[in-house]
Amino acid sequence: MALIDAAASVDLSGFVRRGQGAAEADFVVRGARCAACLGKIERGVLALPDVAQCRLNLSTGRLHVAWEGGRADPGRILSTVEALGYSCAPFDPGQGRRDVDREGRELALALGVSGFGAANVMMFTVPIWAGLFGQELGEHSRQTLYWLSGIVATPCTLYAGQPFYRSAFAALRRGHANMDVPITLGVGLALAMSFYETWRGAGHAYFDAAVSLIFLLLIGRFLDHKLRRSARSAASDLLALQAPVAQVLDGRGVVHGMPVSQVRPGDRLVIQPGERVPVDATLLEGASEIDLSLVTGESRPEATSVGMRLAAGVLVLNGKLVVQAASGAEDSSLADLARLMEAGAQAKTAYTRLADRAAALYIPVVHTLAAVTLVLGWALTRSFETGLVRASAVLIVTCPCALGLAVPAVQVAASARLFRRGVLVKSGVALERLAEVDSVVFDKTGVLTDPTPEIVDLEPEVLAAAAELARASRHPLCRALAAKAGTGVVARDVVETAGQGLEGVVGGRRARLGRAGFVGSGALDGPETELWFAREGQPAVRIAFSERLRPGALEIVRHLRQRGLQLRILSGDRGDAVERVADAVGIDHWRAALTPQEKLAEIEALQRAGRKVLMIGDGLNDAAALSIAHASMAPGEASEVSQTAADLVFTGGDLGVVADALGVARLARAMALQNFAFSALYNAVAIPAAMAGMVTPLLAALAMSGSSLVVMGNAARLTLSRRQA
């Protein structure tokens, strides 16, 4: 389905990047899955005039098109791809650059280098280990193999370990320690001590351990990065499909399509029926009804008046409007909303990650033990050197490989599992916070209720007649009516009066569909959303709409209550509308007609009372509450600001995934704790051995790699298990 029906007629040149004699643009394509889709789309686009190159990335769903000469026609691309049956939207990668995954590439390079190092050093080390079991290996051969290991391992470790060293130094400069500090220390010590031992000819070198440690840790980092990136790009696709183009009117009255991010204050914009106002704006011309549900939570449409201020995110229902932008895209949400969100984000950065909490316990203990080893070793053996070697051994064997992987491995597996269910997890910390929640706060409009309204009982004959008129309009109520009636004929001579209704010829008689006053029923506006329908010579009929619950809403409420979570509704809508929904789903605590500030205050009050709140909301009015809540989720249709503020975004319309997300988050937390327990056990065995000077390089290598593999294997259970958490 096209979000911009007028795509072919709108000039989309704002999305085209021009170079010398060539032009290129990117698009998001949805629905392409197989080789046949790929071939069909690429052939179709290449057949268009002037298209020089066209490449669909099936993994990311991005279509890259290059034109030769200066003549680029992105509108034709959109209509061509849509005619083939795929949804398509122009995509602005931002700042005119191709979207390059620099960090991913760096990690992959580091992974390659450390993999090379680990494999080759292992090749030199295995003969040495074999020598330990009595095979013949001369003193000189052994020394040669050690030197070779050192020559290969040192540059590989130094290069590939950079992500850890950088993070460790950054943390130390800020005056605290994270898990990368002991990693850096352990690797550095292992290299230094191995060179010293090799030079001495003593033969306790840990080159292999140092490089394979970096290799294993990088695997965790790399997977983590890949997953995070695919979640982020899926989230930005959602937004590209939602509000792709602003239609800007220039001085000569010509309309240009532009990425919303390029709109400047003072620009005049044309908003077609069915589109959202992209930035805060003032109404210049036109009349329409507007839907404020994303902005305030109010579910009943409102009429416009010239000079009125329209907030970004307002949906224009049935009239074409010309507005003047009052702000650019970055500051288009209200200033105080932005400030409230900032405060919320700050509160969240104060949250201590599970891994950092473990590091805070682990670092002092291990470093104290190393110091004790140094002193005891020195005192007992009367050799400072022996003490130093044993203390270093303690730091090397406790280098937190398993501990460093414990949380990321689990979070990667958990996020991947949720990603397949249509839930995008923005960060690993979000999962940790989600696992802790004990109350859930719902927004009503668009979260508990479906965005499309449902018709309260209506005679089939009236429905069929009214639908003939309704099919001619883009008003959501008309669309709901048309959808209910199914396909059929469209009335003749339809005229739409913005903000009032439609008039046309149905079955040979004039008929009107719209507001009570327009149709001439004489009735006042009722509590429910409604339309009136009248045919010439017949009394007017009222068509009432009620909000329909989102699929899975009832089940999710029951499920969450069974798990002992406290449920609430905080809505910006009118009291009666909220009460009806609250009764339907069975939530006792609800509050209506709240401003964004009041929602925020409610959440703050709950959290001050010691509760950990999960907020689920979709509107601009929820953004502040989403950003302050302990954890937050937003549906894929939510406003851009809310999706940005939320920790998790769920697509697919079914609220049931909230339970999945909660279950997986809790399972992930349990598994991270299991991994911590395992790491502690490993250290409890390894540290005394190291203190007594009993750790050989073979033992260290087996124990360190082995513990990492156990931790990763435990995390993989999360991907495999079908257990309902």
Partner 1 sequence: MNIIVILAPLSLLLGGLALVFFFWTLRNGQYEDPAGDAARILLPDADDRPV
Q: Please report whether residue 60 would count as binding partner 1 according to CB under 8 A.
A: yes
For 23, list phi and psi in degrees, rounded to 5.
Answer: -145, 150
Q: Please report whether residue 138 would count as binding partner 1 according to CB under 8 A.
A: yes
User: Whole-number minimum distance, CB 114 to partner 1, in Å?
Assistant: 11
Alpha carbon distances (Å) from 86 to 9, 61, 421, 467, 706: 19, 11, 22, 27, 48
User: What sign does the CA torsion over 89, 90, 91, 92 have?
Assistant: negative
Instruction: Say whether 398 sits in a helix, a strand or coil.
Output: coil
User: Whole-number minimum distance, CB 44 to partner 1, in Å?
Assistant: 13
Q: Please report whether residue 287 would count as binding partner 1 according to CB under 8 A.
A: no
Residues 6+ apart with CB under 8 A from 703: 397, 682, 686
Choose the binding region for partner 1 from 138-146, 381-389, 547-555, 690-698 (rule: CB under 8 A).
Answer: 138-146
> Contacts with partner 1: how many residues (CB under 8 A)?
29
Which residue number, 102 or 174, has a Cβ lying nearer to partner 1?
102
Q: Please report whether residue 209 would count as binding partner 1 according to CB under 8 A.
A: no
- 178: tokens are 């994270």
**What is d(CA 635, CA 110) in angstroms, rounded to the nearest whole number?**
37
Q: Please report whether residue 126 would count as binding partner 1 according to CB under 8 A.
A: no
User: Whole-number minimum distance, CB 140 to partner 1, in Å?
Assistant: 8
Secondary element (H or E) of residue 542: strand 541-546
Listed residue (625, 691, 697, 634) closest to 661, CA to CA: 634
Instruction: Say whether 322 sits in a helix, a strand or coil.
Output: strand
> Judged by CB under 8 A, which of 5, 30, 42, 604 binds partner 1?
42
Alpha carbon distances (Å) from 692 to 195, 370, 389, 438, 682: 22, 12, 11, 47, 16
**What is d(CA 400, CA 680) in angstroms, rounded to the nearest whole number?**
10
Choose the binding region for partner 1 from 110-118, 177-185, 524-532, 540-548 (rule: CB under 8 A).
Answer: 110-118
Q: Please report whether residue 91 would count as binding partner 1 according to CB under 8 A.
A: no
Asked if 543 contacts 532 with a C-beta cutoff of 8 angstroms, the reply is yes
Q: Please report whether residue 338 would count as binding partner 1 according to CB under 8 A.
A: no
Q: Please report whether residue 207 would count as binding partner 1 according to CB under 8 A.
A: no
CA dihedral of 400, 406, 408, 411, whole degrees rounded to 10: -170
Strands (E), 596-644: 613-616, 631-635
Q: Please report whether residue 39 would count as binding partner 1 according to CB under 8 A.
A: yes
User: Whole-number minimum distance, CB 42 to partner 1, in Å?
Assistant: 7
Choose the binding region for partner 1 from 137-145, 388-396, 544-552, 684-692 (rule: CB under 8 A).
Answer: 137-145
Asked if 294 contacts 570 with a C-beta cutoff of 8 angstroms, the reply is no
Residues numbered 524 to 553 that lie near partner 1 (CB under 8 A) are none
> Judged by CB under 8 A, which of 9, 141, 383, 595 binds partner 1?
141
> Judged by CB under 8 A, which of 9, 31, 55, 677 binds partner 1?
55
Which residue number, 98 or 492, has a Cβ lying nearer to partner 1?
98
> Judged by CB under 8 A, which of 1, 19, 59, 251 binds partner 1?
59
Which residue number, 214 or 613, has a Cβ lying nearer to partner 1?
214
Residues numbered 654 to 673 that lie near partner 1 (CB under 8 A) are none
User: Whole-number minimum distance, CB 120 to partner 1, in Å?
Assistant: 5
Burial 388-398 (b: 16+ CB within 10 A, else e): bbbbbbbbbbb
User: Whole-number minimum distance, CB 349 to partner 1, in Å?
Assistant: 33
Which residue number, 38 or 725, has a Cβ lying nearer to partner 1?
38
> Judged by CB under 8 A, which of 9, 96, 103, 105 binds partner 1?
105
> Judged by CB under 8 A, which of 6, 22, 148, 376 binds partner 1?
148
**What is d(CA 75, CA 88) in angstroms, rounded to the nearest whole number?**
11
Q: Please report whether residue 108 would count as binding partner 1 according to CB under 8 A.
A: yes
Instruction: Say whether 495 sits in a helix, a strand or coil.
Output: strand
Which residue number, 116 or 678, has a Cβ lying nearer to partner 1?
116
Residues marked active site are found at: 443
Alpha carbon distances (Å) from 568 to 131, 301, 444, 571, 585: 68, 25, 10, 10, 11
> Judged by CB under 8 A, which of 58, 343, 584, 710 binds partner 1?
58
Choose the binding region for partner 1 from 34-42, 249-257, 508-516, 557-565 (rule: CB under 8 A).
Answer: 34-42
Strands (E), 341-476: 423-425, 439-442, 454-455
Asked if 577 contacts 529 with a C-beta cutoff of 8 angstroms, the reply is no
Which residue number, 120 or 415, has a Cβ lying nearer to partner 1?
120
Q: Please report whether residue 445 would count as binding partner 1 according to CB under 8 A.
A: no
Which residue number, 226 or 612, has a Cβ lying nearer to partner 1?
226
- Alpha-carbon radius of gyration of the chain: 32
Q: Please report whether residue 45 would count as binding partner 1 according to CB under 8 A.
A: no
For 499, list phi and psi in degrees, rounded to 5.
Answer: 75, 0
Q: By the criterion CB under 8 A, which residues form the site for partner 1?
A: 34-35, 38-39, 42-43, 55-60, 64, 105, 108-109, 112-113, 116, 119-120, 123-124, 138, 141, 144-145, 148, 152
